[in-house]
C-alpha cells in the first residue's frame, strides 16, 4: 500500500497496512464546496492538533476500550495512509476485498461519493448520512449540494436501507427527490421528541444492509461544532451524535467519513477534537472479527416510545 505525501500521521495509528483492520486517509479537497473554504486543511490540522496535545482515548462504559489496559497503547489495528487526492481515491478499492474499514477525513462532503465509488461492496448497500442539509440537488452534480443524488446513482445503492439524519434546511427540489426514493429522514426535532434511544432502534431497523456512515460536522448545533463550512442552528448535540454512531456501527459497516471541518473557523480546537473523538467511537464500535455476510431479519418499524 503506497503512502501518499502528508505532513504526519495519527500517533495512535501504529499498525502497518497488512495487519490493519482500519485504514485512515485524508482527502484535502474542498473544490466541491461553495462557502467558507478551508476544509482542505482539516486532515493535517486534525492530525497535528491531536498529536500535539497528546489527546487520550475514550472508555465506553463496560465495553472493551479501544485502548489496551493502562490507556497507553491503541488496541484497534489502524493504519494511517496519509493524504489522497480525489484522483487517487480509486486506490482504496482494495479495502473491501482485504476486509478493511475505510475511514476518510475531508475535505468537503462531495468526497463521499468518490470514496463510495471505490469502496462500495458487491450487492445492495445503504448509507447513514448525517448532515444539516440533504445534499439532494439533482439539477447540478458533483458538488457538496448534490452528494446524496450522486450516491443514489451508484450501483447497489438501496434507498430503503438508507437514512438522512439531522437535516433541517431542505430545499423543495431536495424534498421531492427524497420522497421519490422513499429514504428515511430523522430531524433533530424528532430526536428530541422521540428520544435518542428510540431513534437509534429505528435506524438499526432501517440500516439492514452493508452500511457506509458519512458525517458532515454541520449536523451538530454550532454550539458544539463552530468550525464547519455551513453552520446551521438547531442541530443535534455531540452526545446524541456519538450515541447514534455507537449504536448503528456494526460488522456491516464498511466505511466511515468525517467532512466539512474548517479549522480557521474553529474555537480552541473544539470541532477538530470532536471529529477525532467521533472517529474513535466509530472504530471502537465495529467488531472487525465478525465482518462477514450475515442474514438480518430486522424489519422496518416505527419509533418506539
In-domain check, residue 305: no
* Angle, CA of 223, 236 and 212, to the nearest 5°: 120
* pLDDT tens string 215-243: 999 999 999 999 999 999 999 999 999 99
pLDDT in tens, 236-282: 999 999 999 999 999 999 999 999 999 999 999 999 999 999 999 99
Instruction: Give the chain's domain count.
Output: 1
- CA 262 from chain centre, in angstroms, equals 16
Indicate which CATH number applies to the domain containing 51.
3.40.800.10
Is 275 part of any domain? yes
The verdict on residue 100 lying in a domain is yes
CA distances from 36 to 7, 168, 177, 234 (A): 23, 19, 26, 20
The residue count for the chain: 305
Which residue segment(s) compose the domain that 96 sits in?
A: 17-290
Largest CA distance in the chain: 53
pLDDT of the residue at 140: 74
Amino acid at each position: 500500500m503506497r503512502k501518499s505525501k502528508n505532513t504526519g500521521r495519527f500517533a495512535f495509528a501504529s499498525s502497518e497496512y497488512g495487519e490493519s483492520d482500519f485504514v485512515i486517509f485524508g482527502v484535502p479537497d474542498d473544490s466541491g464546496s461553495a462557502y467558507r473554504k478551508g476544509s482542505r486543511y482539516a486532515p493535517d490540522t486534525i492530525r497535528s492538533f491531536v498529536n500535539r496535545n497528546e489527546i487520550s482515548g475514550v472508555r465506553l462504559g463496560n465495553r472493551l476500550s479501544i485502548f489496551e489496559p493502562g490507556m497507553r497503547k491503541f488496541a484497534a489495528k489502524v493504519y494511517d495512509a496519509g493524504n489522497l487526492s480525489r484522483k487517487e481515491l480509486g486506490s482504496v478499492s482494495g479495502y473491501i476485498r482485504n476486509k478493511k474499514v475505510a475511514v476518510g477525513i475531508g475535505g468537503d462532503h462531495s468526497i463521499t461519493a468518490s470514496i463510495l465509488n471505490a469502496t462500495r461492496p458487491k450487492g445492495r448497500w445503504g448509507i447513514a448520512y448525517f448532515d444539516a442539509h440533504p445534499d439532494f440537488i439533482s439539477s447540478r452534480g458533483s458538488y457538496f449540494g448534490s452528494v446524496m443524488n450522486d450516491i443514489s446513482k451508484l450501483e447497489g445503492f438501496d434507498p430503503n436501507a438508507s437514512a438522512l439524519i439531522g437535516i433541517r434546511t431542505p430545499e423543495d427540489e431536495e424534498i421531492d427527490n427524497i420522497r421519490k426514493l422513499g429514504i428515511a429522514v430523522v430531524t433533530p426535532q424528532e430526536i428530541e421528541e422521540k428520544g435518542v434511544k428510540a431513534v437509534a432502534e429505528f435506524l438499526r431497523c432501517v440500516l439492514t444492509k452493508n452500511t457506509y456512515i458519512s458525517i458532515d460536522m454541520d449536523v451538530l448545533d454550532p454550539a458544539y461544532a463552530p468550525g464547519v463550512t455551513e453552520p446551521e442552528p438547531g442541530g443535534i448535540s455531540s452526545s446524541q451524535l456519538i450515541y447514534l454512531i455507537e449504536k448503528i456501527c456494526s460488522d456491516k459497516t464498511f466505511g466511515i467519513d468525517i467532512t466539512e471541518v474548517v479549522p480557521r473557523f474553529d474555537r480552541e480546537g473544539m470541532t477538530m477534537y470532536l471529529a477525532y473523538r467521533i472517529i474513535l467511537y466509530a472504530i471502537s464500535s465495529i467488531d472487525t472479527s465478525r465482518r462477514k455476510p450475515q442474514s438480518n431479519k430486522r424489519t422496518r418499524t416505527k419509533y418506539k416510545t
